[in-house]
Structure 1
Amino acid sequence: MAQNKIADLYRWVDASITDEKFPVTAFAIGTDSQGHVVYMGRAYFNDILGPVHVVPQRKIAYLPNKGKEHRVEKFQLLCLNHFKWVPSTGGKVLPGAVQGGRNPYGLPLYVARVSHQGGSFVGVVHPRGETGSFPYQGKQIKTQDYQALITHFYDE
């Protein structure tokens, strides 16, 4: 897999040990000796960027350096990319919309899904055309109502 494709599989999301919610896609590496979930993080400490052991239930985050563990308050969590379908209409581009391509003029096309005739069909959102469209029986069907695919990092 090419390096740029690998980078698309994850993100580093800013977080703090005082956060009430962590991203739902945070990468858990296991549990600590008390059974609490441990997450993979990273942080800067003494001019290095290093791995952080994050246990939100215990409000702790530690980075190893020079034979000691150092408590950090702010860090980044390793998060897997996560997507969800959100109802939309009229060519509206939602925050976090996933770009699926470009039209012949170089304008972005965003991923959409439509339920039609008992099936689900993938299609695109045309922001300038104020519609979504999808292929069906050799034709391109336009619709005002569709579901947009967006990246999703926090439980709402």
Structure 2
Amino acid sequence: MENIIKSRKKEFWGQERFHDISFSLQENDGDQKVLKANKTILALCSPVFEAMFFGDLAEKRDPIPIVDVDYTIFEGFLRYIYTEEFHADSLEDAQNLFYVAHKYEVTCIESACELYMIHNMKKFDLSELISFADMFSMKNLMELCRLHLDHFPRPDLPAIWVKYKKGDALPPNTAFVDVDPTNNWPLGVGRFKHQGDLLPGTFNIKEKCVYAPYSGQTHKCQDNFEILCNGNLKWVESEKGKIERQAVMGGGVRNNGKLFIGKVERDNRPLIGKIHPSHYCLYIPFFTAELKVPDQYLMLTDQNITEAIICDDYETDDSYYEDDEILDADN
């Protein structure tokens, strides 16, 4: 039913026979233009429009003058209400559209504008974005801007591992290797010691923890782990435990060689885990379980590595101690 309503609403856009309200706006050249819409559709998406059209003090004017918004922006605002299609050519467009959506309390458009700013933040002045985010209490956008503002990776240097303890600042040269689609935060690679093995896995930068697979389960480490930094990193296709030239070593198994870093998508989420050459597969942390992936996955490489790494025995480091937990269904 939801898809039917969405489809029908989209068909109503621009259809004169459904119009019962109009708005008067001034273009940049000073000319007046009119936009028409349907009261019920607008009220369905905006409590402000609902009060304006159907409240005790309902608006009687038609057309209704709109004096604080540009014609093109207001048209884009109405178009999104009908079609859910977002369009912005610049940060200024997105900010102006957000302002209108905020004024009329159309939260889905606010979210679309914020997502546009997040996806394109590298093109914009981060200080300006932070000021805008602060003005409208956009906490996630503000935190992401500050994260990128303090982010200075060195792709000209080989990848290194940097130790991290709970409460430490994120290393400014942390390698961002993917994006978490649930919150649009970057993901990194982390590793920690468990049962004598050094396990690489998904570094959740927002939560400041690492998820790694081991013995059929997902383990979560929130303190005393290492973060992959620097490197001219690239994901390449691999399968069946094959180790490509320039592969980044992610850890090791006691007396059984090295582990490398692999990635695959499940449920539209990137999951980073360990490539185990002697098992001919990739293992990933998947909710509370360890999932085996024999083929069709990606391997992390560093273009600064000039020679292939040989899988010899893993040397343990007794100074690097364990501090992790097993995830269960309720965690």
* TM-score relative to the length of structure 1: 0.46
Relative contact order: is structure 1 or structure 2 higher (C-alpha 8 Å, sep ≥ 6)? 1
More helix by percentage: 2
Greater CA radius of gyration, 1 or 2?
Answer: 2
